[in-house]
Each structure stands twice: as structure tokens, then as C-alpha cells.
Structure 1
Amino acid sequence: MTPVITLLTDYGLADGSVAACHGVIVLTAPQVRIIDVCHLVPTGDVRRAAAILAQTIPHLPPGVHVAAVSPVGASRGAVAIEAGEHVFLGPDNGVLSWAVTAAGGARTARELTNEDLFRKPVSPTFHGRDVFAPVAARLATGLPLAEVGPEIPQERLVALRTPTSLVRDDEVEGEVLSVDDHGNVQLSISAADLGVVGVRPGGTLVVWLGRRHVSLPFRETFAAVPPGELVAFTDSAGLVVLAINTGDAAQRLALPPGAHVRLSSGSRRTPPESL
């Protein structure tokens, strides 16, 4: 089977950074197939990158997965984590944690300290090219994971807090998992959670934001409502998304990543709409 390396970064596409990572991999291991997961993660948005990788990993072949996303200026020790049939490389800032869980949990974790594997000289601001790319290429073509550096206790790894989803009586509580470039708000709540409280496509959903609330249709796609109107639908990951047809739902609803929300059926008695 052709070895696979995937790349997820916040480098953007306006310069040659992504191409440089590709080049280092191909020069080291020309037989490797490279899959670009995403390079348009907002700069340093670890949570957004973690969500993208975790939701993509079930659809990726076994391989080595690089997630080079870190806040500018942050201290970022490099780690390799083996989980299931996958090896994840990235800064130890939590960006890998949700994907590792999605892959079945970590079996072993190691620090990337073997400088013989790095591209020289190592730029302090471009570990994607000089550390992760060459190490990924070597691992994908058979280098034992033990060669990258010493094993570290898994409890020492930085992990993002697991997103919440709780069915309580006739409501589902959750949080904003991520917001994309269009202002679509992905929640930690699944369509299955909504089904438990009686909300299904074609019905009405009430979104509670603290003391505020808004009622909106629950449909199959955002295009099911006229331009400018709010709608909820289930995305390809099975999660509930709040959106506006040709608009920015995150801005209108004032919902940043991590914000707490409650959802209930529109058939429940509610006060007059407040948004």
C-alpha cells in the first residue's frame, strides 16, 4: 500500500510554505502520497484545527498525520502520538488530542528530539517544513516510532477539553465546537441528540443562549430557507450547524467557539422570541 502523509496547517495559500512542506517530503520519500486536509485554518486557531482533524480522520487511510498549527510565539514542543493505525505529529498544544481520541486513543507518545531526522538548519518559526515534514516522511516509509525520541507519559500531553453534549429532560446542552469562514456555527450536539428530545428535520428548533433565545427551522440544508434567514441543519459529521443562508450566523447570534447553548423543540412552550 502506498504510504500516506496528511497535512493540516494554518499557513494559508498566499506563499510557498505548503509547497515547501510537500517538497521536503517528496525529496525524502518520493513514493509517499500527500493529502492536504486544510491550510486555511485561522492563524493559531488550535481548536478549529483540532475539530477539522478529528472529523476528517475517520475518512483517511492509515498514515502519518501532521497538524502544524500553533499560536504565534507560543512554546511548542513537538510530539508524535500513535493511535490505532495512525501516527500524529504536531506541537504539544492539544491540536492532536481530539483526533487521537477519534482514532481510538493513544497507544504511545514520544517527543521529537532526534535532530538527525530534521532538516538543517531548523527554523524556529517553520517546524512544519524542518521538523514535521522530514520526520513524517521517514515514519511513513518505515522508520520505527521509537527512533524519533524518548517516550513521554500520555498524561503529560496537552489535551483540549472534550466538547460537551448532554441530554437533560426535554433539552440538549452543548457548546460551539467551531465556526468556519462563512460564520456557520458547528455545535457539539448531534442530530441523534436532538432526536431524543423530539426534534427532527422539518420541525422547529429553539436555541437558548443564556436568557436569550431564537426559534429557527431545522432543515436538511441551509438552502432550504430564503437568503438572510437563520436555519439549523445536520452537517456531514452528524453535528448540528446554525447558519444563515448567505450570512454570518456566528456574528448575528454572538456565538464564539466554546459558547454554551441549549436546544429544545419548538413545540415546547417558550416566551416570545427574543432575538
Structure 2
Amino acid sequence: MTYRLISFTTDYGTRDGFVAACHGTMLWSAPHVSILDVTHEIPPGDVRGGALVLAQTVPYLPESIHVAVVDPGVGTNRRAIAIEAPRGVLIGPDNGLLPWAADALGGVDRAVELTESRWHREPVSRTFHGRDVFGPVAAAVATGTALTSLGGPIDPGDLVRLPDPLLSITANGLTAEVIAIDRFGNVQTAAPGSAATGLAQRLLVNGTAAKSGETFGSVETGKLVVLVDSADRVTIARNGGSAAESLDVRIGDMVRLTAAD
């Protein structure tokens, strides 16, 4: 099978030439592909943040190869891997970055360690596997190379997985970990959208007044609203402002939603 699209997600930023160099090693061997840059603004080394962005993005892309590199362990004994899922292939480090996205694409059908050096760019830099391993391997897969040719098999159960975010749902409300804060200051929680059905209309979020709603405009300007976002997560927003600033929360903090009455 061949692919015409490679998505690319990293913490490289765009100030340096890292992204362009990786594009080059993909296009060198697979000039027919288009490369879609998902983002290169994952905070440096934030594997969990990268995993979340990837998992919430890949379901909306055509069947593709997805290269993701947030890799503080590059050059160590962490494995370089490829995962085949029903709706795409994921390539990157075995540090927890890929499995949530694989789940979003239907689950892990097959996983291999990228040990077959003939598909790598030589010499392989110890600090730049995005350019010398992941990019060239993606190009090989895009041109029809089978995963079984890339290296030895990995038991899917042996893949590194990140711990699930914290969540507790009770009759009185819910307590959930903040898993993402977007550029608007919307506070995405670990609670699935289905948890919103049990919430009261008038709420306290860590003691601050809020209301349940369906849109940002469900409340007056400056007020907090609890809604289900486009990723089907319970999210706290502020109409016309930043909920994260209003609540003074960061990723990894816990928020408690309880009935105000």
C-alpha cells in the first residue's frame, strides 16, 4: 500500500531548520507525498501534550502516515517504532507519544521496532532521529514498504503507554485533571462529553461561579461556561476571555465542578 499524505507533529518549533530538514528526507525518497504540518509548537519535551494533540487530530485526516517527534530520550535505549492501525500508520519514539493516536485510528494492529538500517539516512545522528530515522522510514512506507521490512515485531502490549489522566465522577459533580489549555485560554478536562449530562445548570468551578451551556455565547461576556468541546471533552471557557487565567489553573491541575445550589 502507498500513501500520498504524511502528517508531521513535533516540538521542534520553526525558528531553526529542523522541520525543513525532516521534510527534505521525506521528500527525497517520496517526492509524490504531501506533508501536512499539524504543529511544531508542542512545548519542548512535552510528550503528553504531543500525544493529546495527535490523538485529537488524526481522526479528521485522510488515511495517512503520521510522523510525531517529541523525543527527550533521543539517542538513549528508547525504541524507535512504527504502529499500523486500521486507518493509518504512526511513526515516532516509543515513549507514549503514539498509542492514544493509534487508539483513535482503530487500535494497534501491528507494531515494529525500526531496527532495519537500510531504511535510515546514514550516518544516523544520535540527536536527530526525526531527520535520519523517522522521516526516511515514513518515506519508505509511503512508497509501499511493508512494516515487517522495517524491523522486528513488538507485542502491542509492550508499547510504552502514558497513564490515563485523573478523573472522578460522583453524584455531586466531578473532579478532573486539566489536560490542555488552548490559545484562547479554554480549559479542557479529562472528563468525556457524556459527563456533562449530569452537571447542574448553575455550577461552581473550584469555587468560582459558572453555568452549563452549549456555546461560548451561552453566558454573558466575562462569565464562565462549562460546555462539551469539539474533542468531546468537558471544557471550561470564559466568554471573551481566558478561563485559565480566571481560574488560575495550568495543565496537570485538578478542577472540581459542583452544583452551586
Contact kept in structure 2, 1:48 and 1:179, CA below 8 Å: no
Q: 1:80 maps to what in 2?
A: 82
Q: Compute the displacement of 1:253 (Å).
A: 2.8
Letter in 2 for 1:204: R
Q: Report % sequence identity.
A: 45
2:140 matched to 1:146? no
Letter in 1 for 2:52: A
RMSD across aligned positions (CA)? 2.4
Contact kept in structure 2, 1:2 and 1:33, CA below 8 Å: no
The unaligned stretches of length 5 or more in structure 2 are none
Q: Compute the displacement of 1:6 (Å).
A: 0.7
Contact kept in structure 2, 1:81 and 1:110, CA below 8 Å: yes
Contact kept in structure 2, 1:47 and 1:178, CA below 8 Å: no
- Give the TM-score normalised by structure 1: 0.84
Q: Compute the displacement of 1:247 (Å).
A: 4.6
Q: 1:131–1:74: structure 2 CA closer, same or farther, 3 Å change rule?
A: closer
> 1 CA distance for matches of 2:159 and 2:73?
20
> 2 CA distance for matches of 1:221 and 1:47?
27
2:131 matched to 1:129? yes
2:235 matched to 1:237? no
Q: 1:74–1:207: structure 2 CA closer, same or farther, 3 Å change rule?
A: farther
SS at match of 2:121: coil
SS at match of 2:118: helix
Q: 1:6 maps to what in 2?
A: 7
SS at match of 1:155: helix
> 1 CA distance for matches of 2:105 and 2:73?
28
> 2 CA distance for matches of 1:217 and 1:118?
54
1:216 corresponds, among 192, 210, 214, to: 210
Deviations 1:153-196 (A, max 9, x none): 2222110112354542242343212223444321111332111x
Contact kept in structure 2, 1:7 and 1:67, CA below 8 Å: yes
2:49 matched to 1:61? no
Deviation above 4 Å: which 4+ runs of structure 1? Answer: 223-229, 245-248
Contact kept in structure 2, 1:186 and 1:241, CA below 8 Å: yes
Q: 2:107 maps to what in 1?
A: 105
- Give the TM-score normalised by structure 2: 0.88
Deviations 1:138-165 (A, max 9, x none): 1012101011111122222110112354
Q: Compute the displacement of 1:120 (Å).
A: 2.0
Deviations 1:33-81 (A, max 9, x none): 2211111111111111111111112111112111101237683321111
Q: 1:246–1:131: structure 2 CA closer, same or farther, 3 Å change rule?
A: farther
Q: Compute the displacement of 1:235 (Å).
A: 1.9
Contact kept in structure 1, 2:178 and 2:188, CA below 8 Å: yes
Deviations 1:213-256 (A, max 9, x none): 22213334445556654333332112122234565433543433
Contact kept in structure 2, 1:54 and 1:98, CA below 8 Å: yes
Q: 2:204 maps to what in 1?
A: 206
The unaligned stretches of length 5 or more in structure 1 are 270-275
Aligned length, in residue pairs: 259
